[in-house]
Amino acid sequence: MAEDQPGNPETVSTPSGATLRVRRSGPLRGSCRVPGDKSISHRALLFGALADGVVEARGLGRGGDNLSTAAALRALGVDVALAGDEARIHGVGFAGLRAAAGPLDCGNSGTTIRLLLGLLAGRPFESELYGDASLTRRPMRRIADPLRRMGASVEGRADAARPGDVFPPLRVRGGALTGIAYDLPVASAQLKSALVLAGLQAAGTTTLREPGRSRDHTERMLRAMGAPIAVDAGTGAVVVDPAGWNGRLRAVPIVIPGDLSSATFLFVAAATIAGSDVTVENVGLNPTRAGALDVLRAMGADIAVTPAGDALGEPVGRVRVRGSRLRGTTVAGDLALRAIDEIPALAVAAALADGETVFADLAELRVKESDRIVAIARELRRAGVVIDERPDGFAVGGLGGRPPAGGTVQPEHDHRIAMAGAVLGLSAGDETVVPAADIATSFPTFSETLAALGALID
């Protein structure tokens, strides 16, 4: 496989420092695709590195976060070749990983740093992991504590504002781990996946129980690759029992569906602009993270989903959205958990709907790439939307057909806040200016995709 060369259209992304200008747009129409699912792409790279042989992955997300994972694996001695949306990973197993020559740069990616922490907790060498300014503010105690209980040494930066927590840069020294039974303090796919990776290297069984059901991409892919992992049908607990296992995953081809989180921005744009008719092909429809579709349906969106099979246990399909008048709803509990990464896009739908939409049980948004509750409240107020910020969410008073105000979005290095501001700008009475460099974290072709559907964005 030939490596990407400069100028390859498959790797086009918004240049650093770029700015998007968004104007009120007419109906969006057409069919499109979105980049490969970011969460599944991380796992394809990481689990491919642990395989017994060469893993070919197609449909790989090429945003900055996935590239951070690929670069970190190379630094750990794994041959990862990328070309367009394809990857060829020469698996080395857990035992084949080697200490990096220097600190591992995880960029803006919480998934990269957290899953690597679990992976490296069982390796007999020391590693340092760091990231950009946004990642450096994200708390890591919830992962450090159970890994320490299993036998790893994890150290990080202290912060007087959150005594007892640890923040990147992180230093982990792995070694002999022991399985644990652990109740996760929050439902988190990143935390669960990190502990699964540690549990695969531990002596004894690791049992993980969550307060809610987080996305299960890790369980699906690892089972398909032959890992000793099971999910208790009664309790939902994830059980890892590596006794007798050879420590290598089975090398299988991986096809990655389109990213539902990226697609949700297109769904909201289509649903909120009268006369729109947009179809997104090959979208991942995993029920543990498809809450955004349920929220939009509850708001009255005209949505048609056509299943098209599955890819390595992940359901895939086509989603068609047409413009309609949306109404307020409540997003809480399990529904909020299944839509947590799509909340910035759904907040835009709420802003343009009739009536009030309440978002609750979302305290986790405060420790994403930004404090997303604060960021969403700030951006909606800038656009003239009434919003009541709460400790674990917010309530939005929909504009009910009135156009939002334009202005300048302040993403604070959060790709989803930037994209949400742009989608809101498609309905605004004045031009909206969006600092766009961070959009490439997950959706490098965001503006080009919207423009091809008829959006006034450049």
Asked if pLDDT for residue 410 goes beyond 50, the answer is: yes
Annotated catalytic residue within 85, 216, 259, 341? 341
Backbone angles phi, psi at 197, to 5 degrees: -65, -40
Strand stretches in 360-422, DSSP E: 386-390, 393-397, 407-408
What pLDDT is attached to residue 3? Answer: 53
Residue 424 CA, distance from chain mean position: 21
Q: Could you give the dihedral angle defined by the CA atoms of residues 314, 1, 250 and 66, in that order, rounded to the nearest 10 degrees? A: -50
Cα angle, residue 347 at apex, residues 352 and 432 outer, rounded to 5°: 65
Of 34-48, 164-178, 260-274, 365-379, the poorest mean pLDDT is in 365-379
Digit-coded pLDDT (tens) for 57-66: 999 999 999 9
Q: What is the token pair recorded at 182?
A: 């652990």
Tell the burial category of 243 from Cβ atoms under 10 Å away from its Cβ (0-12, 13-18, 19+).
exposed
Rounded to an integer, the average pLDDT of 75-96 is 97
Q: What is the reported pLDDT for 101?
A: 98
- Report how far residue 398's alpha carbon sits from residue 36's, in angstroms, rounded to the nearest whole number: 32
Q: What is the pLDDT of residues 71-82, one digit of tens each?
A: 999 999 999 999
End-to-end CA distance of the chain: 34
Tokens 């490439």: give the residue: 440
Give the helix ranges, DSSP H, for 76-180.
110-120, 133-136, 141-150
**125-146 average pLDDT score:** 95
Angle at the Cα of 246 (from 209 to 87), degrees rounded to 5? 80
Spatial neighbors of 435 by CB under 8 A, at least 6 apart, are 18, 19, 408, 409, 410, 411, 418
Confidence (pLDDT) at 17: 53
Closest listed residue to residue 450, CA positions, set 21, 66, 64, 59: 21
The rounded distance, in Å, linking the Cα atoms of 143 and 30 is: 43
Catalytic site includes residue 341:
yes
pLDDT at 226 over 70: yes
106 strand-pairing partners: none
Confidence of residue 11 (pLDDT cuts 50, 70, 90): very low
How much is the mean pLDDT over the chain? 94
State the DSSP code for 72.
H
This prediction's pTM: 0.92
Joined together, the tokens standing for residue 62 give 């090429």
**What pLDDT, on a 0 to 100 scale, did the predictor assign at position 53?**
96
